[in-house]
Amino acid sequence: MTTVLLRLRNHVRRTIAAGADRSSAALLSVAPTPVAGLRVALVFVALLVAGCTSVPDPGAIGEARPRQASEWPHYGGDAGGQRYSDVGQITRENVSQLEIVWTHHGGDVSDGKGEIRSTTAYENTPILVGGVLYICTPMNRVIAIDPVTGAEHWSYDPKIDVSGRYANQLICRGVEAWTDPQRADGQACRRTLFTATNDGRLIALDGATGRPCAGFGNEGEIDLNPAAGEQRWQGEYQMTSPPVLVGDVVVVGSAVGDNQRVDAPSGVVRGFDARTGALRWAWDAAPPGFVANESNVSEAGYALGTPNAWAPLSVDEERDLVFVPTGNPSPDYWRGAFPEMSYYGSSVVALRGGTGEVVWSFQTVHQDLWDYDVPAQPTLSTVVRDGREIPVVVQATKMGLIFVLDRETGKPVFPVEERPVPQNGAPGEKLSPTQPFPLRPPPLVKHRMTEDDAWGIAFFDKRACKQRIAELRNDGIYTPPTLQGSLMFPGNGGGVNWGGVAIHPERRVLVANMMEIPWIVRLFPREEWEATRRANPGKEISPQDGTPFAMWRELFMSPIGLPCVKPPWGTLAAVDMNRGEILWQVPFGTVRDLAPLPLPIKLGVPSLGGPVITEGGLVFIAAAMDDYFRAFDLDTGEELWKARLPAGGQATPMTYTAEGRQYVVIAAGGHGRAQTTLGDSLVAFALPH
Would you name the residues annotated as active-site residues? 371
In angstroms, the Cα distances linking 628 to 172, 549, 574, 622, 631 are 21, 42, 20, 6, 10
Q: What span, in angstroms and rounded, lies between the C-alpha atoms of 669 and 682?
A: 8
Q: What is the DSSP letter of 498?
A: T
What gap in Å lies between CA 226 and CA 156, rounded to an integer? 24
Q: Can you give the three-state secondary structure of 591-633, one letter per residue? A: CCCCCCCCCCCCCCCCECCCCEEECCCEEEECCECCCEEEEEE
Q: How far apart are CA 228 and CA 265, in angstroms?
A: 5
Q: What is the dihedral of CA 441, 374, 570, 472, to 10 degrees?
A: -100
Q: Which residues are CB-contacts of 413 (< 8 A; sequence separation ≥ 6)? A: 383, 385, 390, 392, 404, 405, 406
For residue 235, what are the contacts with CB-CB under 8 A and spacing of at least 6? 118, 164, 165, 166, 167, 198, 199, 257
How far is Cα of residue 459 from the mean position of the Cα atoms in its chain?
A: 37
Q: Is the peptide bond before 73 cis (omega within 30 degrees of 0)?
A: no
Q: What's the CA gap between 186 and 193, in Å, rounded?
A: 15
What residues contact 289, with CB distance under 8 A and at least 6 apart? none
Q: What angle do CA 23, 26, 31 make, to 5 degrees?
A: 60
- What is the CA angle 550-541-446, rounded to 5? 95
The CA distance from 486 to 357, in Å, is 38
**CA distances to 373, 374, 490, 513 from 493, in Å:** 10, 12, 7, 12
Number of Cβ atoms within 10 Å of the Cβ of 466: 17
CA 286, distance to chain mean position in Å, is 23
**Segment holding 389, helix H or strand E:** strand 388-396
